[in-house]
Amino acid sequence: MALITLTSDFGTQDFLAGAIKGMLLQHDPQCQLIDITHDIHPFNYPQAAYICRNAFQHFPAGSYHLVLVNLFEKKPDQLLLAYHQQQYILCADNGLLTMILEEKPEMLIGLPVSAANARTTLQCVGIFSKAIQDVEAGRPLAQIGRPDPDFIEKIPFRPLVKDEYIEGQIIYIDNFENVVVNISRDQFEQHRRGRAFSIVFKRNEVIDRIAETYADVPEGEKLALFNSAGYLEIAINKGNAAGLFGLQGYLEPSQSAYIQNRLFYQTVKIFFQ
């Protein structure tokens, strides 16, 4: 029985999330479907990569992950089936794959998209579903599509590291408006080397210690901690850090912020003394 996760930027008001589940169940009534989220912000690759990367690693080996985000950044001639660290990832050829994995996949198959049919989301899901059926039937990956195809690669955001500071980017804002920065605990400790530090962000706000939980500070006070994914998080105990401090996640270059000459993302710096 295939275990299939779904991640998309469709939202839940459209019919697509339900239609996709129906199509997958028609092809395999015994498959297990799990929603990761359908609320990825349109075109927000850093957010999609963060959510997918930190969800996929907790699934059983051999799980299938359908990533239906920005399927039509370009007219698709192929879709991708990747096998990496015992997980299958099926997504568009739009660069998101390498942002999720932070490296090239162990195995990659190109799934051709026929020009004879209308290129729609449901057509793509049908191609993914057929590929899952083939894998479940024991068909070798090399026979399912084109092995080792050329594909689009995008580099994930990485913090700027200097001896005296680390500068990270805001990659995600969660439902509580806690702000996630792409600085991991390992990176922090590696470059800290026992030194005192100051976390500095918008409006010259400063935090000089790492909390273990939100309750380590009084209600309404700001704090920094490393979340369950191991990334630096700026928060307010029982408050909304992003709204209060005017912090925003990644913005696509095509959005109005770019026209106003603002950065695509906001940064957070950790200074070491």
Residues 70-116: tens digit of each pLDDT = 998 877 789 999 999 999 999 999 999 999 999 999 999 999 998 77
Tell me the percentage of the chain whose pLDDT exceeds 70: 94
Quote the percentage of the chain above a pLDDT of 90.
Answer: 81
Please, how many CA atoms are within 13 Å of residue 129, restricted to the half-sphere of its CB? Answer: 19
Question: Of 35-49, 52-66, 110-124, 178-192, which gets the smallest average pLDDT?
Answer: 110-124
The answer to whether the CB of 101 falls within 8 A of the CB of 112 is no
Q: 102-106, 230-234, 249-253: which has the minimum mean pLDDT?
A: 249-253
Amino acid at site 210: I
Mean pLDDT score, 125-133? 97
Domains delineated in the chain: 3-147 (3.40.50.10790), 160-272 (2.40.30.90)
pLDDT digit string, tens, across residues 130-184: 999 999 999 999 999 999 999 999 988 899 999 999 999 999 999 999 999 999 9
Taking the C-alpha atoms of residue 24 and residue 189, their distance in angstroms, rounded to an integer, is: 44
Mean pLDDT across the stretch 260-265?
A: 45
Give me the mean pLDDT over the 24-48 stretch.
Answer: 95
CA distance 82 to 149: 11
Q: Which residue has the higher pLDDT, 64 or 262?
A: 64
- The reported pLDDT for the residue numbered 118 is 72
CA angle 265, 244, 267 (to 5 degrees): 25
Task: Please report which confidence band the pLDDT of residue 260 belongs to, taking 50, 70 and 90 as the band edges.
Answer: very low
Sorted by sequence, the CB contacts under 8 Å of residue 207 that are 6+ apart come out as 198, 199, 222, 223, 224, 234
**In the predicted model, what is the mean pLDDT of the chain?**
91
Can you tell me the mean pLDDT for 47-57? 96
> What pLDDT score was predicted for residue 256?
44
Residue 266 pLDDT: 82
Those residues whose C-beta lies under 8 Å from the C-beta of residue 23, and which sit 6 or more positions away, are: 122, 125, 126, 129
Q: How is residue 95 annotated by DSSP?
A: B
Work out whether strand 32-37 and strand 3-8 pair parallel, antiparallel, or are unpaired: parallel
